[in-house]
Chains A and B, each alone.
Chain A
């Protein structure tokens, strides 16, 4: 042997890694700097909103915003104290989106969503604030506590089964929201499991693709003169996707169905670099859409509204048209927070403005400039996520990071495209901005996992390789 093999970390060294090495707090200057800008911007935004509503210059009621900024600081300090070397840009970007969400929810009529807990009535902003705090806590906890990905990697079929079970539970016990069967209630707390299922689906697909990437990328089935991808190896993933798509489509949750399918297609392409999959997938998508258009009234209605919302301006096309008018009245600089959104009969003109159409509210009050800034935030998330994927240590981590990033970015693209009538509207939330606990919690899980994956301070535990272990017994070990 001329090349001297590098010493493997000894057993002692590895076990000390596992039990957690000494915690060395490290400052996160970039994160702090960005968070300060976020805080200043949100305070100015709040002053602008409060002054517009009060009719004189005022800072308004800062309770919620101050508490939100305090929570951000707590997460930041927790990251410093635990000494994690994670990405420093994701948290401020998510904080900015969440803060804008809080401002918009404070601005909208509070009676859009009211829930009663112990005799107290909580309005839109209070509820969104509660969910934001919960999400931040979850995000921070995941980022700090997740040190190994084995619990995701090893149990991919268990996760897949859990996801399907969750969807089926909605199917059986679910409640209707705006004509779609979405909600699952446990006691007083209701949630939309389709949001969490998207994360589970990504975990499963990353695990399956990491194991079978080689086969899917190289092998092929021959059908006559055509060389098709190795279809048999796609069956487990196709089955999982088929069940998920079937269930959510049956519940009229078209947005989730579209999101699952697109993420599946992108992830397959990332794993194999074969354009054939994308072409095949798009063909299947077109054929499926054509069939759905014929047999499924909801799909036909959505496409018809998209093509011509003016056909029924007071009925089916009302929501889309109102959103277009909102973007138009916002113009380039916007009307300013609190100055837009003419109401129709006491309620805001756009139905579901707090959730699916929150981007229309932003487009009107912050204008093209503000809306573009929000879109840029999603671009930043995409860049960070893909960088984390590119520097990941193995296939599973790379695919997981890419998939998690895609889930957020594709979801934002679907709903923003729907809001501005670029694509047919399919109801889904705008990540971190729309009102809604399930959406916030699910996306917090996504970003928390991304942050944990980005940590470079700790080497990940070796992935279990049963085959390698068998050889280890045969092989000779140096002291």
Chain B
């Protein structure tokens, strides 16, 4: 106690209170920071089950119903041939009609020199076209919209 004799006990406890308040602020931030880190780790660790989905917005006699949706792989081919990822039984669709690829951060659409062409928002696709969520693609008589993947439920 002798070391403390020279100190005013009140001043000391006041100083401790001040520091405790500041420490509390940082304890709070530390807690928040840990939660944010955990949240980000979980988000980066769980790869989404799908990268996007195609929703049918316009169909034809005997085609998939409007509103049906197809989860997409990183490379999704569309055509009349049954070996395509999405096989469309439509006479206006070529055997190997178009391919959708996910490269890095976004989707791209390529027409595989089909007879009737592939249309992106009404414009014919020449070469490889970047494809955004909400864009409409027409393949033969089938019209599909690229939608965001369904959010993954957090564990």
Among candidates B21, B32, B64, B133, residue contacting A1 with C-beta atoms closer than 8 Å: B64
Name the A residues within 8 Å of B22 (CB-CB): 333-334, 366-367, 369-370, 373
Name the A residues within 8 Å of B121 (CB-CB): 214
- Cβ-based interface call for B74 (8 A): no
Name the A residues within 8 Å of B51 (CB-CB): none
B84 and A2: CB pair below 8 A?
yes
B58 and A471: CB pair below 8 A?
yes
Name the B residues within 8 Å of A476 (CB-CB): 59, 61-63, 65-66
Q: Could you say which of B22, B27, B82, B143 has the most chain A C-beta atoms within 10 Å of its C-beta? A: B22
Question: 7 A-B Cβ contacts within 8 A?
Answer: A1-B89, A37-B28, A40-B24, A44-B17, A214-B132, A472-B66, A474-B59
Interchain nearest-CB distance for A233 vs B (Å): 15
The residue on B at minimum CB distance from A51 is B14
Complex interface: stretch among A142-150, A386-394, A404-412, A429-437: A386-394
B13 and A214: CB pair below 8 A?
no
Name the B residues within 8 Å of A189 (CB-CB): none
Interchain nearest-CB distance for B85 vs A (Å): 7
- Cβ-based interface call for A41 (8 A): yes
A43-64 at interface with B (beta carbon < 8 Å)? 44-45, 47-48, 51-52, 55-57
- Cβ-based interface call for B4 (8 A): no
A373 and B31: CB pair below 8 A?
no
B86 and A48: CB pair below 8 A?
no
Among candidates A40, A41, A93, A395, residue contacting B32 with C-beta atoms closer than 8 Å: A93
- Cβ-based interface call for B154 (8 A): yes
- Cβ-based interface call for A6 (8 A): yes
Among candidates B17, B31, B151, residue contacting A34 with C-beta atoms closer than 8 Å: B31
Name the B residues within 8 Å of A47 (CB-CB): 17
Name the B residues within 8 Å of A366 (CB-CB): 21-22, 25
Query: When chains A and B are docked, how far (Å) is the Cα of A48 from the Cα of B24?
Result: 12
A370 and B25: CB pair below 8 A?
yes
- Cβ-based interface call for A141 (8 A): no
B99-155 at interface with A (beta carbon < 8 Å)? 121, 132-135, 143, 148, 151, 153-154
A475 and B66: CB pair below 8 A?
yes
A427-479 at interface with B (beta carbon < 8 Å)? 456, 467-468, 471-472, 474-478
Among candidates B21, B39, B86, B134, residue contacting A2 with C-beta atoms closer than 8 Å: B86
The residue on A at minimum CB distance from B70 is A3
**With A380-B32, A475-B56 in contact, is A1–B67 under 8 Å at CB?**
no
The residue on B at minimum CB distance from A376 is B29
B18 and A333: CB pair below 8 A?
yes
- Cβ-based interface call for B7 (8 A): no
Interchain nearest-CB distance for B53 vs A (Å): 9
Interface residues on A, range: 35 or more
A to B contact number (C-beta, < 8 Å)? 155
Give me the 10 closest cross-chain CB pairs, A-B, nearest first.
Answer: A41-B24, A475-B66, A5-B68, A48-B17, A373-B25, A336-B18, A45-B21, A471-B58, A2-B87, A37-B28
- Cβ-based interface call for A344 (8 A): no
A380 and B36: CB pair below 8 A?
yes
> When each residue 15-59 of chain B gets 1 if its CB lies under 8 Å from chain A and 0 otherwise, what string results?
101111110111111011001100100010000000000001111
The residue on B at minimum CB distance from A30 is B35
**With A41-B21, A467-B57 in contact, is A387–B39 under 8 Å at CB?**
yes
- Cβ-based interface call for A8 (8 A): yes
Name the A residues within 8 Å of B148 (CB-CB): 393-394
Name the A residues within 8 Å of B61 (CB-CB): 476
A5 and B64: CB pair below 8 A?
yes
B25 and A393: CB pair below 8 A?
no
Query: When chains A and B are docked, how far (Å) is the Cα of A33 from the Cα of B62?
Result: 56
Query: When chains A and B are docked, how far (Å) is the Cα of A477 from the Cα of B67?
Result: 9
Q: Could you say which of B19, B68, B71, B134 has the most chain A C-beta atoms within 10 Å of its C-beta? A: B68
A3 and B28: CB pair below 8 A?
no
- Cβ-based interface call for A96 (8 A): yes
Among candidates B26, B59, B134, residue contacting A373 with C-beta atoms closer than 8 Å: B26
A48 and B82: CB pair below 8 A?
no
B65 and A478: CB pair below 8 A?
yes
Name the A residues within 8 Å of B154 (CB-CB): 456
Among candidates A5, A30, A214, A387, residue contacting B69 with C-beta atoms closer than 8 Å: A5
- Cβ-based interface call for A92 (8 A): yes
15 more CB-based (< 8 A) A-B contacts, given A47-B17, A477-B67:
A3-B85, A3-B87, A34-B31, A38-B28, A48-B18, A52-B14, A89-B36, A336-B14, A370-B25, A380-B32, A391-B151, A474-B58, A475-B56, A475-B65, A476-B59
- Cβ-based interface call for A111 (8 A): no
Query: When chains A and B are docked, how far (Å) is the Cα of A387 from the Cα of B154?
Result: 14
Interchain nearest-CB distance for B43 vs A (Å): 8
The residue on A at minimum CB distance from B58 is A471
Query: When chains A and B are docked, how far (Å) is the Cα of A370 from the Cα of B20?
Result: 12
Query: When chains A and B are docked, how far (Å) is the Cα of A83 from the Cα of B74?
Result: 36
**With A5-B68, A214-B134 in contact, is A34–B28 under 8 Å at CB?**
yes
The residue on A at minimum CB distance from B39 is A387
Query: When chains A and B are docked, how far (Å) is the Cα of A472 from the Cα of B64?
Result: 12
- Cβ-based interface call for A312 (8 A): no
The residue on A at minimum CB distance from B149 is A393
Query: When chains A and B are docked, how far (Å) is the Cα of A33 from the Cα of B31?
Result: 9
Query: When chains A and B are docked, how far (Å) is the Cα of A214 from the Cα of B82?
Result: 33
The residue on A at minimum CB distance from B130 is A218
The residue on A at minimum CB distance from B67 is A8
Interchain nearest-CB distance for A126 vs B (Å): 23
Interchain nearest-CB distance for B25 vs A (Å): 4
Q: Could you say which of A3, A30, A34 has the most chain B C-beta atoms within 10 Å of its C-beta? A: A3
**With A370-B22, A475-B58 in contact, is A6–B69 under 8 Å at CB?**
yes
